[in-house]
Chains A and B, each alone.
Chain A
């Protein structure tokens, strides 16, 4: 018998599902019921004509667990396709964040300066706050949020990861 691989890896998995009531609960219930991790999960309808939604889930586990997660997702009745974007070729991953920073004086200037470096856009502001919009890879968002922490960060809203494979082929 092959020895079990105990390395924990992170994977981004795309799941195409029927956009029907309960389908998200089915996917989430599978993860909680079987004790798998969800690091990020996004879902929205992507094909209105055919009633299809796309779920992007970032999960982690040993190679065996990750294969198991994909197989378990694949056997849900409303699931059309399951693709491992991390393992099957390369992919583009993006996340969007809205970040609210409140304050005045030096800190406010510094926040705006860093936002500029990170190419964050100001989408709302007053004399004592900014709301920044930022899109990028999740770790870039993490760094920006960390930098805002001492500068008056009061609220963060993030979408979670969306991802798509590189190249000319569809899911």
Chain B
């Protein structure tokens, strides 16, 4: 198992947001989490990545090791990547120098030598092509003046650069038109392989037509109330979340 979450609870200022999540993702599998607004999807992804500001209990094991006490940067270097729903802008910080520092931190963590400038540039060119990110955007400060779609492509580009074992995509489809969605999804699919797991968080079934999941989990009110194969997503699209809230059974 690459990622094992057991009885994960989280609250903010006394308000419980996650109420005992259990989730296991084997290496190489793509799991989707679907759920209505406010169900706790983004909180779950932030907590896996180590964001501060929650009272939490339970267990998160990555590659068999408990990581609840790890700082976000250690989790990142160990191979956990989060593609943000709302990527921030870093004025004046060049994307390439930012990424070079990030990639070299990961390499240092793995005991590999730092990439020199020319090797790094070659890698950037190769990975930028995956999500059709232009060289002009790479020369800009991180996300500054990027359109919504460009920001999302940039997230997948950074994921390709950092080559994580576990990628969490937090509503990567939100705010994308159909062409941008296709480009992003194709980029993600090219990054799928037997050693990389993904957790795709989405509101709609639409994204899962492009990124076919191995498992689908439904998160409502801070708990996973149902799990199934990809057909569960289709049923949800058809019947809506109220159907689950009504407590009906589904065979999947």
Q: Do A and B bind each other?
A: no
Interface residue ranges, A against B (CB under 8 Å): none
Interface residue ranges, B against A (CB under 8 Å): none
